[in-house]
Structure 1
Amino acid sequence: MKLSTILLSIMLGLSSSTMAQQKDVTIKLIETTDVHGSFFPYDFITRKPKSGSMARVYTLVEELRKKDGKDNVYLLDNGDILQGQPISYYYNYVAPEKTNIAASVLNYMGYDVATVGNHDIETGHMVYDKWFKELKFPILGANIIDTKTNKPYILPYYTIKKKNGIKVCVIGMLTPAIPNWLKESIWSGLRFEEMVSCAKRTMAEVKTKEKPDVIVGLFHSGWDGGIKTPEYDEDASKKVAKEVPGFDIVFFGHDHTPHSSIEKNIVGKDVICLDPANNAQRVAIATLTLRPKTVKGKRQYTVTKATGELVDVKELKADDAFIQHFQPEIDAVKAWSDQVIGRFENTIYTKDSYFGNSAFNDLILNLELEITKADIAFNAPLLFNASIKAGPITVADMFNLYKYENNLCTMRLTGKEIRKHLEMSYDLWCNTMKSPEDHLLLLSNTQNDAQRLGFKNFSFNFDSAAGIDYEVDVTKPDGQKVRILRMSNGEPFDENKWYTVAVNSYRANGGGELLTKGAGIPRDSLKSRIIWESPKDQRHYLMEEIKKAGVMNPQPNHNWKFIPETWTVPAAARDRKLLFGE
């Protein structure tokens, strides 16, 4: 072979090799968040087919892995996965010796990394510590600090390295508002740092030690709003995205509100911000194109294009292999949750709770009084529009009756604190009517917000009471609407007297701020006010009472009402039609 031919061949070989090295790489990062036990296209509570679910998410993920290459697809979960469906409760507490279903599902789907949600912490150390160990990939929480070591309790960040050569570092954080909702024994030995300062410190460490090509925030904290204190913001994802340079993507959750935006941070760089909301109805996908370059003999990548989107998976076909793999677990939980525990003679609805006394809410209140022998009980509707039909009542129905794994508590409160607690509740709940044509309820354009659903505020803070008779005058200003007439047994009500009050543990710990901001009790005094707390969750005791009764006929107590009724009754009918179409 001639020398010129050899040289040409070498040059062509070098050229093609260089071209291959310079080829752009496109990766997709997929986030799920606030799955809340929605693993399968079957609702164990209603015993009906369910839209969304991880079974449908898996269909999409597998399609993208085939299309784009497994090494170019990244799968991230953002917490609140351990509570929400009977199947979660079953593996948390009924069969804790088995691998938690939340670990089995995420492992099967091939997740790369995950973070922790507040409802995961709510399950208690025994559940979440075991779950951490069962996951076959890293679980992150940069701002979850071990009080003994002053270091993160779990990994603060993790760099994913796949065959494509790209280094994707994920920094995980959790809303620091945990102590506002959960008693200390649930998170003993931990503290939760403010997110912006934690992100700045962690970002500096990541850039120095990891030198990644892509930096992702995976935050179980809402966009903006929530509880704001001098120490922290509950929902700080927007703040972190804007104030902490370095993030290419901020995936977030917690607030159950779909979000897709591109934000400029303080140095003028675009940050993709995505939240697919809850119950595995959609996923967030960030698509990044990266260009390789060699610096000092090392390959590095620069992001040249970035887009974000929310992809609906509600009606995708569930993956057959996924369902088949988990069929034994599905069957076991169906058998457990379909057990009949009693019978109701009439159907009860949560929607009645917003307009006055309701059989649904009053059943819970009355059972709280029966269980605790308290003077007064508080409770709020925990589901927007649930019902339990007349007929046999099953274990599954109990998750409609009481959604969360709160414990039941009794507290010492003065009559004045009881009234002020209710004043704040009804201020969150009711409009101040200026004319008969006004709304009764405090409504807002929040229909797409899965937690508010048309209300301005969270309905799980709309406490009403049993044990007292009272009126709510919606023509009066905030703080002056509630007039307590008497105890329901006919005795006088005294604002200066101490009463025993039944509440759930969320409320007793300061959740919703009704006892702190409303009743005026200092947060550090709440613990001293608690007389008793149930060893098991409140749902367990409600179930035991229904079993004991056998047959129940729940009716409204008729112990309170909105006034003036010439205004409130027609306004309630209008608002009911607006919210529920009836």
Structure 2
Amino acid sequence: MVNTKIIILLTSDVHGNIYPINYGNNEQAHVGLAKVAALMEQERKKNKHVIMIDNGDLIQGTPLTYHYVNFLAEKKNPMIKCLNMLQYDAAVVGNHEFNYGLNVLKNAVFESKFPWLCANIVDSRTDEPFLGKPYIIKKIGAFKLAIVGITTHYIPNWENPNHIEGLRFKDALSSAKEWVAKIKEEEKPDIVIISYHGGFERDIQTGEPTEVLTGENQGYSICREIDDLDVLLTGHQHRSLTGSLFGTEIIQASNNGQMVGKVTLILNEKGEVLEKSSELLSVAVAEEKKEIIEIAMEYENSTQKWLDTPIGFIDGDMIVDDPFAIRLEDSSLIEFINKVQMEAANVKIANTALFNNESPGFKSNVTMRDIVSNYIYPNTLKVLALKAEDIKAALEQTAKYFTLNEQGEPSVNPSFMYPKPQHYNYDMWEGIEYILDISKPIGKRVVKLLFEGKPLEENKVYEVVMNNYRAGGGGNYLMFQNKPVVREVQFDMAELIANYIMERKTVAATCDHNWKVIW
């Protein structure tokens, strides 16, 4: 009896990383497609039957992709050039694929030598999959493998409405059920694989919810409710995950090209699965592939030149020495970003986050590298009409970020660290005065809340500017959902920050200490 071994290689949430560097300081890092390529080449040499899938969030996320879209858009997309060279079999649409607008996404799809899959995002007029390809069939010898693409349907809660105009986002779980049933009946595949740009809403071992069950992640339900599903490829949460769930082999391959996911299937002559296994291959052991380095060199050189462009000067201290300390009391860096938002939107109240613990702050001589290292997302701004109860509820949500450790000192609530770090979901406000007492129970931590020296009025409407992700309720800020949008600022925040500094040439670091955390 001759068995057949099939290897599925997975990348997910690569987020524009080609080169093995950290753009904030240009130091070497174990990330990117150049290193991924070396691992994939090794696997192809060892195995006859290899299928390569990218699971979404490919074309956005680094200064290279930002610079490409804004300054080199007449050229071909560098991320697509890399995947074409690597001969990927398919890609799935991720939520960040929409960040630069539909034209950029459609051009990327047009340039791809592989199909893009998405069964549950449809044209609102025709109800047909908007990219035309809900799934593909791969034939390996006598066997048929069906690969279905599914994308988290929660995108309208985050994305700029102009970027998803004319699209309808169907429930991922329901769509997965519908398409798997249809494919089984019509195609009669030996193997069924779902590549889902989404993650797991419950603990894999216990089944307990690990997040508010909004529908953003439905991987657990997909495995539980779809019979005879062989493999579920996942992403979105940036987790490093392998295993089996309700008989389905599952995998998630981290982010930024740090890992390649590998699923191994052993089939007998009848097409029955004898063995299934999954593992993660770290790019830390790989040398970057020269051909990938060279294919994107023109883009990289132009990006590096742009990143070192002088913008202006900071008079004072906006350096991040301790990111945790910045979240405990007002700082000149956060106040500055909020001021940029307030001026751009012409309002008196704003909120923002220190998006991750790698944010360096601004040194005295500011370059574009500093700006994109601190404001890492291509966010635009929205002004919402909020009442006092909305603002207080938002502050209570943000106060959940903290817990007290055994020594009675503040630390990060595990719910903001698992399944992935979510520092970007802790907001700091300007234009109001507030105190958060984190020794008090969750939901009762706002002990001071003033606007212009007075308590907020119950029935008064306050205009508040925030990024489009938060304005849609992203990060469990459900109190912002469906609130009236007073106006939008359709400029990327990195551009707004750069223009703010360039207009003034020198910006003074100021801090009015309008808020703090106590315990």
2:162 aligned with 1:189:
no
TM-score, normalised to structure 1's length? 0.82
Contact kept? 1:348, 1:554, Cα under 8 Å: no
What amino acid does structure 1 have at the position aligned with 2:391? Answer: I
Q: Partner of 1:15 in structure 2?
A: none
Instruction: Provide the C-alpha distance between the structure 2 equivalents of 1:184 and 1:347, rounded to a whole number of angstroms.
Output: 33
Contact kept? 1:132, 1:139, Cα under 8 Å: yes
The 1:445/1:153 distance shift into structure 2, 3 A limit, reads closer
Counterpart among 180, 190, 194 of residue 213 in structure 1: 190
Question: Over aligned residues, Cα RMSD in angstroms?
Answer: 2.2
2:401 aligned with 1:429:
yes
Instruction: Provide the C-alpha distance between the structure 2 equivalents of 1:494 and 1:334, rounded to a whole number of angstroms.
Output: 49
| 1:33, distance to aligned residue in structure 2 (A) | 0.3
The 1:81/1:470 distance shift into structure 2, 3 A limit, reads same
Q: Partner of 2:204 in structure 1?
A: none
Superposed counterparts of 1:374-453, under 5 Å:
374-388=347-361, 390-426=363-399, 428-431=400-403, 437-444=407-414, 449=419, 451-452=420-421
Contact kept? 1:383, 1:400, Cα under 8 Å: no
Counterpart among 482, 487, 498 of residue 532 in structure 1: 487
Worse-matched range after superposition: 166-175 or 189-198: 189-198
Structure number with larger C-alpha Rg: 1
2:269 aligned with 1:292:
yes
What amino acid does structure 1 have at the position aligned with 2:193? Answer: V
Contact kept? 1:56, 1:313, Cα under 8 Å: yes
Q: Partner of 2:472 in structure 1?
A: 509
Contact kept? 1:409, 1:533, Cα under 8 Å: yes
Larger RCO, structure (CA 8 Å, separation 6 or more): 2
Report SS of the residue matched to 1:61. helix
Instruction: Provide the C-alpha distance between the structure 1 equivalents of 2:305 and 2:46, rounded to a whole number of angstroms.
Output: 39
Instruction: Provide the C-alpha distance between the structure 2 equivalents of 1:390 and 1:30, rounded to a whole number of angstroms.
Output: 41
Report SS of the residue matched to 2:176. helix
What amino acid does structure 2 have at the position aligned with 1:242? Answer: R
Counterpart among 459, 479, 489 of residue 443 in structure 2: 479
Counterpart among 77, 97, 108 of residue 74 in structure 2: 97
| 1:325, distance to aligned residue in structure 2 (A) | 2.8
Worse-matched range after superposition: 539-548 or 204-213: 204-213
Q: Partner of 1:496 in structure 2?
A: 459
Counterpart among 498, 507, 512 of residue 557 in structure 1: 512
What amino acid does structure 1 have at the position aligned with 2:433? Answer: D
Offset from partner CA, 1:337-380 (integer Å, 9 cap, x none): 22111223435214433221122222211222232231111112
Instruction: Provide the C-alpha distance between the structure 2 equivalents of 1:256 and 1:509, rounded to a whole number of angstroms.
Output: 21
Counterpart among 303, 318, 334 of residue 333 in structure 1: 303
What amino acid does structure 1 have at the position aligned with 2:81? Answer: S
Contact kept? 1:53, 1:280, Cα under 8 Å: yes
Contact kept? 1:144, 1:152, Cα under 8 Å: yes
| 1:165, distance to aligned residue in structure 2 (A) | 4.3
Q: Partner of 1:320 in structure 2?
A: 290
2:47 aligned with 1:65:
no
Report SS of the residue matched to 2:371. helix
| 1:103, distance to aligned residue in structure 2 (A) | 1.2
Instruction: Name the % identity.
Output: 29
The 1:257/1:424 distance shift into structure 2, 3 A limit, reads same
Q: Partner of 1:254 in structure 2?
A: 236
Report SS of the residue matched to 1:51. coil
Q: Partner of 2:426 in structure 1?
A: 462
Report SS of the residue matched to 1:38. coil
| 1:227, distance to aligned residue in structure 2 (A) | 4.6
The 1:172/1:485 distance shift into structure 2, 3 A limit, reads closer
| 1:410, distance to aligned residue in structure 2 (A) | 1.9
Counterpart among 300, 320, 344 of residue 371 in structure 1: 344
Counterpart among 65, 78, 82 of residue 59 in structure 2: 82
Report SS of the residue matched to 1:152. coil
| 1:53, distance to aligned residue in structure 2 (A) | 1.2
Instruction: Provide the C-alpha distance between the structure 2 equivalents of 1:387 and 1:275, rounded to a whole number of angstroms.
Output: 29
Worse-matched range after superposition: 363-372 or 104-113: 363-372
Instruction: Provide the C-alpha distance between the structure 1 equivalents of 2:361 and 2:444, rounded to a whole number of angstroms.
Output: 35
Instruction: Provide the C-alpha distance between the structure 1 equivalents of 2:424 and 2:498, rounded to a whole number of angstroms.
Output: 21
What amino acid does structure 1 have at the position aligned with 2:156? Answer: P
Instruction: Provide the C-alpha distance between the structure 2 equivalents of 1:196 and 1:461, rounded to a whole number of angstroms.
Output: 26
- Structure 1: any 5+ residue segments left out of the alignment? 1-21, 265-269, 294-300, 453-457, 569-582
| 1:533, distance to aligned residue in structure 2 (A) | 0.8
Instruction: Provide the C-alpha distance between the structure 2 equivalents of 1:146 and 1:167, rounded to a whole number of angstroms.
Output: 29
Contact kept? 2:243, 2:277, Cα under 8 Å: no
Contact kept? 2:307, 2:367, Cα under 8 Å: yes
Report SS of the residue matched to 1:360. helix
What amino acid does structure 2 have at the position aligned with 1:124? Answer: G
Report SS of the residue matched to 1:40. coil
Q: Partner of 2:206 in structure 1?
A: none
TM-score, normalised to structure 2's length? 0.92
Higher-helix-fraction structure? 1
Q: Partner of 1:228 in structure 2?
A: 213
Instruction: Provide the C-alpha distance between the structure 1 equivalents of 2:308 and 2:262, rounded to a whole number of angstroms.
Output: 37
Instruction: Provide the C-alpha distance between the structure 2 equivalents of 1:200 and 1:498, rounded to a whole number of angstroms.
Output: 44
Report SS of the residue matched to 1:357. coil
Offset from partner CA, 1:26-51 (integer Å, 9 cap, x none): 12110000001111112333322221
What amino acid does structure 1 have at the position aligned with 2:375? Answer: Y
- Structure 2: any 5+ residue segments left out of the alignment? 202-209
The 1:290/1:513 distance shift into structure 2, 3 A limit, reads closer
Q: Partner of 2:8 in structure 1?
A: 29
Instruction: Provide the C-alpha distance between the structure 2 equivalents of 1:39 and 1:288, rounded to a whole number of angstroms.
Output: 29
